[in-house]
Structure 1
Amino acid sequence: MAGTTVGQSIRHPWVELVRKAFNRPYADFYLLGASSLLLLAVGALMVFSSSSVYAFSEFKDPYYFLKRHMVFLVAGLVGAVVISRLNLRALKLIGWASYLGSLIMLMLIFTPLGHDAGKGNRNWLTLGAAGLGIQPSEFAKLALVLWGATVLSNKVRYLSDPRHIVHPFLTLGTLLPLLVAIQRDLGTAMVMGLIVFAILWIVGAPKRLIAGFAGLGVLGVLVMVLTNANRIGRILGFASPEKYAEVSRQPQSAIYGLATGGWWGVGLGQSRQKWGYLADAPHNDFVVAVLGEELGLIGTLVVLGLLLVFTLVGFRTSLRNKNPFYSWLAAGITSWFVIQGCINIAVVFRLLPVVGVPLPFLSYGGSSMLANLGALGCLLACTRAEPDAVAAAHAKKARKGRKLTALVTSAGR
């Protein structure tokens, strides 16, 4: 007993110190910010390392993708800072504006402004004389969560009646993933459908309503798969990689890269799989494969650990907020990142067929990066709305007021 008491007394100060640090008013703000910045730094490093060979072969510039990546990253960070300072009313207005903007952009894809991204997917807009390419479906994910939190929090007293969830959330909300599905982008449509499912679960929708939506979603995925030869080929390649070697080349190369990396990796920049074996996606959907090959299991676990910190803090932010809008917004964004991250990593580890979903913060992609950092700004705004954070902000403002009053009084003497 004495030994246990001594051991506990030795550990106790450190445990208390950590506990107090994690329970400080702005702890979630700093934890989200720090984990996100570290993930962005690793992402930029891996985008350069994984894309350099392809960039040189296509554009004679190994820094081509890195330079573009950094432009979107910096612009996104500025946007995240601005969004993090917005109040409740402004965020709700952006919720409606982002929904309408996403709806318009997704519909414009069916005009001459839209263009084919390859393999039948028509999910890009080309704007301006410079031919700026935008992927509206990436912004639609953020719009879906932000708008969903807005409309449902405005009807919080009536959510026990399924009719107030069906309209307008389900009737208008499912319009976005439906448009993406019509554009034949199965991966993004699946992510958006799962976001809707997560929001229904978060707000406590009736189980029969959730089950009905899930059933329709599964039916929709089956229809999209069975009516497309390319998707059927991916499933066959997933089930029998040896028999369908050409179709399964990308995921098989990813596994070879991860296996080659071992514990510590082959070294930064030394990946072999990025030399054409991962086709044109080593810096996009398969960036984790290059990460695992070059930095090994240890490097991969560090990145997964940072993603776990982001996830836990995101959900804790949801639980700490008393306002339904902030609570559901934080839970919705975190669920989106978890869903998309799990699908991406599962594909790289050959646990799922290839569906073409990027990894938040790490994969290359301008539209994806801007949408992800916009979501980060919303999450940071949610941390600032936590009751303890609001109380701390008011206390700080009061202290500044007292100091100013004291200075004026002393100057008057």
Structure 2
Amino acid sequence: MPRGQATGRVRGTAAPAPRAAAPPGARVSPAVRRLQGLVARVRRAWDRPLTAYYLLLGGSLLITGLGLVMVFSASQIQALRWDLPSTYYFRKQFTAAAIGTVLLLLASRMPVRLHRALAYPILAGSVFLMALVQVPGIGQEVGGNTNWLSFGGPFQLQPSEFGKLALVLWGADLLARKHDKNLLTQWKHMLIPLVPAALLLLGLIMLGGDMGTAVVLAAILFGLLWVAGAPTRLFATVLGAGAFIALMLVKGSEHRMARLGCIGATDPGPNDICWQGLHGIYALASGGWFGSGLGASVEKWGELPEPHTDFIFAVTGEELGLAGTLSVLTLFAALGYAGIRVAGRTEDAFVRFAAGGVTTWITAQVVVNIGAVLGLLPIAGVPLPLFSYGGSALLPTMFAIGLLIAFARDEPAARAALAMRQPVVRTRLAGMGRKSKRRRG
């Protein structure tokens, strides 16, 4: 080939004219390349075997830790109003969180077969305690609901919170055994005895008047049926029947009808029936982007009832602002994603049903609580999971998170990744020990 012709081709390629004629988007700027690389790295990190494990462990501990801070901030004035030490509620919540952490770690290390073995004892114990609540002189009324057992002094227990865990474990074990026998294709095996047992729990809860807990328990039932693959017609029938029963229960109670009328309220209403919901909105609105500062809430000074329990999210918005509330929502979203991921990646039917049930439980409770604080749903008296004050709600929830962590650890790829990391951790610890000995020497 003549040199001049080759040189012409090289010069033609280097000339700016062909580059200018390139179609739009053919050239990628360095900034776009860096962004694409960042997205690719995030995707690789997101698809790692231990992602769900770290999201569950880290997210739950962060929510619990931030909840302790907000309980301490939101409950001080409430404690002083009752002539109690300012740290009274915080100390009780801290004790419950410490016990709950032990339960979380135990549940995360328990094999799946042991979780299945606990299903029937937990269900029987929950039914017994929930029935005991209805015995006159034994059950205690708190906030208009008779769903508590008192053990003397400040120690109280709400058995219906453990009923949620019981329904998840027992329902998942029941459906898994029927799945292994290919019985879930028949609607009678899909519904019986799961639905009657759930109705028993719901009936015991509604005898005490706790509509909020009943809604969450019903959501768990629907979640189990959905994950089990209930046909659309069957699922819609059960959902419609549940909605009809809930509507009748609401219409049969003036108090519940009044709460329903407080959705989107802009004034306290007659007899200040919407006072709590309205001041929850005031608290969120006054927080702005970054809040008034930790401990600087105005609404907790007697204006907002239950600032450390049902409406702790409102105090969080007032003191930490939109940034704080979005952080809490992000952590809950991470828990929800991790639960769905665990349920979607397993081949074990029990793990799939139990992970779906726990995820539905936590997600539904978050929606009911925050929806009430935002004025989008009626106030149901449901605590924010892992965040609000209340040991009866915290302990079974942390055990359920430990259940999800155990499932995440049990994935084959996760087991292999954890097994590879153990020798590395031991080597690093041994190296740190040798260095400390040299320094002392």
- Mapped pair 1:52 → 2:93: no
Return the match for 1:376 from 401, 414, 424. Answer: 401
Deviation at 1:388, TM superposition (A): 1.1
The question of whether the paired residues in 2 share the 8 Å contact of 1:322 and 1:387 is answered with: no
Mapping of residues 62-141 of structure 1, within 5 Å = 62-111=86-135, 112-119=137-144, 121-127=145-151, 129-130=152-153, 132-141=155-164
Partner of 2:270: 244
Partner of 2:10: none
Q: 1:194 to 1:3 in 2, by over 3 A?
A: same
Partner of 2:173: 150
- Mapped pair 1:28 → 2:84: no
The question of whether the paired residues in 2 share the 8 Å contact of 1:322 and 1:386 is answered with: no
TM-score (norm 1): 0.91
Deviation at 1:108, TM superposition (A): 0.8
Partner of 2:253: 228
Deviation at 1:130, TM superposition (A): 4.6
Deviation at 1:171, TM superposition (A): 1.8
Deviation at 1:208, TM superposition (A): 2.5
TM-score (norm 2): 0.85
**Separation in 1, partners of 2:390, 2:418:** 36
The question of whether the paired residues in 1 share the 8 Å contact of 2:123 and 2:163 is answered with: yes
Task: Please list every run of 5 or more consecutive structure 2 residues that lacks an aligned counterpart in the other structure.
Answer: 1-24, 426-441
Partner of 1:261: 287
Partner of 1:277: 303
Partner of 1:405: none
Partner of 1:297: 322
Mapping of residues 301-312 of structure 1, within 5 Å = 301-312=326-337
Partner of 2:430: none
Deviation at 1:81, TM superposition (A): 0.2
Q: 1:391 to 1:166 in 2, by over 3 A?
A: same
Write the letter of the residue equivalent to 2:311. F
The question of whether the paired residues in 2 share the 8 Å contact of 1:237 and 1:245 is answered with: no
Deviation at 1:358, TM superposition (A): 0.6
- Mapped pair 1:326 → 2:351: yes
Deviation at 1:199, TM superposition (A): 1.2
Return the match for 1:213 from 231, 238, 247. Answer: 238
Deviation at 1:166, TM superposition (A): 1.6
SS at match of 1:3: coil
The question of whether the paired residues in 1 share the 8 Å contact of 2:314 and 2:373 is answered with: yes
Q: 1:221 to 1:262 in 2, by over 3 A?
A: same
Q: 1:44 to 1:394 in 2, by over 3 A?
A: closer
Q: 1:158 to 1:285 in 2, by over 3 A?
A: same
Q: 1:259 to 1:12 in 2, by over 3 A?
A: closer
Residues 17-37 of structure 1 show CA distances to partners (whole Å, capped at 9, x for unaligned) of: 333322222221111111111
**Separation in 1, partners of 2:270, 2:28:** 60
Deviation at 1:172, TM superposition (A): 1.6
The question of whether the paired residues in 2 share the 8 Å contact of 1:236 and 1:244 is answered with: no
Deviation at 1:10, TM superposition (A): 3.1
Residues 179-234 of structure 1 show CA distances to partners (whole Å, capped at 9, x for unaligned) of: 11122111101111111111111111122222222122122212222222222222
Write the letter of the residue equivalent to 2:296. Q
**Separation in 2, partners of 1:301, 1:395:** 36
Task: Please list every run of 5 or more consecutive structure 1 residues that lacks an aligned counterpart in the other structure.
Answer: 401-413
Q: 1:73 to 1:181 in 2, by over 3 A?
A: same
Write the letter of the residue equivalent to 1:328. F
The question of whether the paired residues in 2 share the 8 Å contact of 1:254 and 1:278 is answered with: yes
Deviation at 1:387, TM superposition (A): 2.6
**Separation in 1, partners of 2:349, 2:121:** 20
**Separation in 1, partners of 2:307, 2:401:** 25
Deviation at 1:309, TM superposition (A): 1.2
Write the letter of the residue equivalent to 1:69. Q
Moved more, 195-204 or 361-370: 195-204
What is the alpha-carbon root mean square deviation over aligned residues? 2.1
Rg: which structure is higher?
2
SS at match of 1:213: helix
